[in-house]
Amino acid sequence: MSQTPTHQNYINGAFIDAVEHLEVHNPANGALLSRVPESRAEDVERAIAAANDAKKAWAALPAVERASYLRKIATRIRDNVPALARMITEEQGKVSGLAEVEVNFTADYLDYMAEWARRIEGEVIESDRPGETILMLRKPLGVVAGILPWNFPFFLIARKMAPALVTGNTIVIKPSEETPNNCFAFARLVEEVGLPKGVFNVVSGAGASVGQALTGSSRVDMISFTGSVATGSRIMANAAGNLTKLNLELGGKAPAIVLGDADLDLAVKAIRASRIINTGQVCNCAERVYVERTVADEFVTRMGKAMAATTFGDPLAQPDVEMGPLINRAGLDKVGRMVKAAVGEGAELITGGAVADLGHGFHYQPTVLAGCRADMGIMRQEIFGPVLPIQVVDSLDEAIVLANDSDYGLTSSVYTRSLANAMRACREIDYGETYINRENFEAMQGYHAGVRKSGIGGADGKHGLYEYTHTQVVYLEA
């Protein structure tokens, strides 16, 4: 029988034993997968110190040399896709196909960010004084703390470390307690490519201890966090003492607006895809639908059938299923509570509506709720599960008002054949991202950023890259 692996923190280019450990389990069947460090304050301090010690030499390397390490890591990732994808499926529960997409996308993302090495640009500004040149330099911030959620755990390492490193920062990553194994696998690839020590560090453990220590440190120059609004808010409070720069990618409650002139086949297909991906546990998932009355009955019927046909189960035992389990018992209970409350408040259950008893794992039936209203919790709070609540509206105006009346402001979508309606929606919807006639999923060259409580700052593309820099203006009289 194979032994349960025990992971070590990766600090200053070395794997280091921890005193205490957390257990990691497979959400599909409860199997114990590993033990990982429950790091202490001194481990976090060591990692921050290593990142600080490494930052000067790393920033002094030409950006193309820094980028060459990212490309090497991308190659090592591509050499190991099946093993990495399996690890993600085991600890996070996502289906194998999506896990492979995540791994390949991560490699592509590293290559994409590496391409920016020769495009990091400052400015030359006209001066008021004769003989003076004003230069705006772009510089690294120093040490970045990257704090990760569990839903795309492998990709999110790259989303933080790639722009941080190519612009000359060093980083300390804290993976989620739920999904740390793939982060230690990433650290092993970093080790194999010979990245200078201290540039990339991993410390695992609880948010309340390791996360708090990282975000409260005066030796961290930027906190790049992806996770829930509640944790983002706590991090902001903790960072306030040092006024540490924040980049917060938080939750969403994406509205999908389906107008009377929409291609309903497309709308059903795309909204279903955006709801069941990763079992509904994605920040940009379609979380609520506003459908115009003229097509509402037909849309609800078709969506009910499409969701009911969704297959689910243990993704390792049944590789063809479309959905795996939810991440943990708390996630399952929350989805169950929200559906029960909505039905109690008058929502009509079209399909699903219960825990799926497979004898193992945290599975919830794909669910559609019709007749929802704006005052229901299910239309206002993030569900993070395979449940689609639908509200009927009489016009695009009403849909836009309801869509904007939200604490969240990350992604949104509109289904219409009218260019005028699409453009009006783009102008009036207050969201960081809007998808027209397609499923919700961002591109690495875009800019993933939310308004309201969905976050501060953003990720990806040129604008995401420059979040990891500060400017220095030089007034040069020479």
Residue 410 interacts with ligand NAD (CB under 6 A)?
yes
Distance between CA atoms of residues 220 and 153, nearest Å: 22
Q: Verify binding: residue 460, ligand NAD, rule CB under 6 A.
A: no
**Alpha-carbon dihedral angle through residues 145, 87, 81, 324, given to the nearest 10 degrees:** -100
Identify whether 283 is a catalytic site residue.
Answer: yes
User: Which pairs from 238-247 meet CB under 8 Å and 24+ separation?
Assistant: 238/212, 239/215, 241/216, 242/216, 242/217, 242/218, 244/215, 244/220, 245/141, 245/221, 246/222, 246/456, 246/457, 247/222, 247/223, 247/455, 247/456, 247/457, 247/458, 247/459, 247/467
Minimum CB distance to ligand NAD, residue 207 (Å): 2
Q: Which residue's CB is nearer to ligand NAD, number 13 or number 227?
A: 227
**Measured between alpha carbons, how far is residue 364 from residues 56, 227, 400 in Å?**
50, 22, 30
**Binding of ligand NAD at residue 465 (CB under 6 A)?**
no
Three-state DSSP at 124 gives strand
Q: Which is nearer to ligand NAD, 120 or 148 (CB)?
A: 148
Residues 6+ apart with CB under 8 A from 453: 229, 232, 250, 251, 407, 408, 409
According to CB under 6 A, which one of 28, 47, 144, 148 is a site residue for ligand NAD? 148
Could you give the C-alpha distances from 136 to 125, 464, 466, 470, in angstroms and in order?
Answer: 7, 19, 13, 10
* Residue 388 touches ligand NAD, criterion: CB under 6 A: no
Report the C-alpha gap between 421 and 415 in whole angstroms. 9
Q: Does residue 325 bind ligand NAD (CB under 6 A)? A: no
Q: Nearest approach, Cβ of 304 to ligand NAD (angstroms)?
A: 25
Does residue 400 interact with ligand NAD by CB under 6 A?
no
Indicate whether 409 belongs to the interface with ligand NAD (CB under 6 A). no
The answer to the question of residue 448 lying near ligand NAD (CB under 6 A) is yes
The H or E element that residue 152 is part of is none
The backbone torsions φ and ψ at residue 99, rounded to the nearest 5 degrees and listed phi first, read: -65, -40
Q: Which of 43, 91, 102, 177 binds ligand NAD (CB under 6 A)?
A: 177
Structure tokens at 386: 């395979």
Hey, which residues between 202 and 261 contact ligand NAD (CB under 6 A)?
207-208, 211-212, 215, 226-228, 231, 234-235, 249-252
Q: 58 vs 384, which CB is nearer to ligand NAD?
A: 384
Q: Which of 249, 322, 439, 442 is catalytic?
A: 249
CA triple 286-462-88, angle to 5 deg: 50
| Annotated catalytic residue 426 | no
| Count of residues of this chain found to bind ligand NAD when the rule CB under 6 A is applied | 29
User: Cβ atoms within 10 A of the Cβ of 83, count?
Assistant: 10
State which residue, 234 or 272, has the beta carbon closest to ligand NAD. Answer: 234
The answer to whether residue 27 forms part of the interface with ligand NAD (CB under 6 A) is no
d(CA 228, CA 208): 14
Q: Which is nearer to ligand NAD, 152 or 299 (CB)?
A: 152
Q: Which stretch binds ligand NAD (CB under 6 A): 146-154, 299-307, 385-393, 415-423?
A: 146-154
CA distances from 201 to 176, 216, 243 (A): 15, 17, 23
Q: How far is the CB of 301 from ligand NAD (least distance, A)?
A: 30
The interface with ligand NAD within residues 278-297 (CB under 6 A) comprises 283
Which residue among 34, 52, 106, 151 contacts ligand NAD (CB under 6 A)? 151
Specify the residue, 280 or 371, whose C-beta has the smaller distance to ligand NAD: 280
Q: Which is nearer to ligand NAD, 355 or 451 (CB)?
A: 451
Applying CB under 6 A, does 306 fall inside the site for ligand NAD?
Answer: no
Radius of gyration for the chain, computed over Cα atoms and rounded to the nearest angstrom: 23
Q: Return the range that interacts with ligand NAD (CB under 6 A); candidates 6-14, 267-275, 295-303, 448-456.
A: 448-456
- Closest CB to ligand NAD among residues 167, 284: 284
Do you know the residue count of the chain? 478
Q: Does 412 participate in binding ligand NAD (rule CB under 6 A)?
A: no
Candidate list 90, 100, 283, 442, residue with the active-site label: 283
The answer to whether residue 147 forms part of the interface with ligand NAD (CB under 6 A) is yes
The tokens for 399 are: 């849909």
No. of helices (H) and no. of strands (E), the chain = 14, 22
**Positions in the binding site for ligand NAD (CB under 6 A):** 147-151, 174, 176-177, 207-208, 211-212, 215, 226-228, 231, 234-235, 249-252, 283, 382, 410, 448, 450, 455
Active site residues: 249, 283
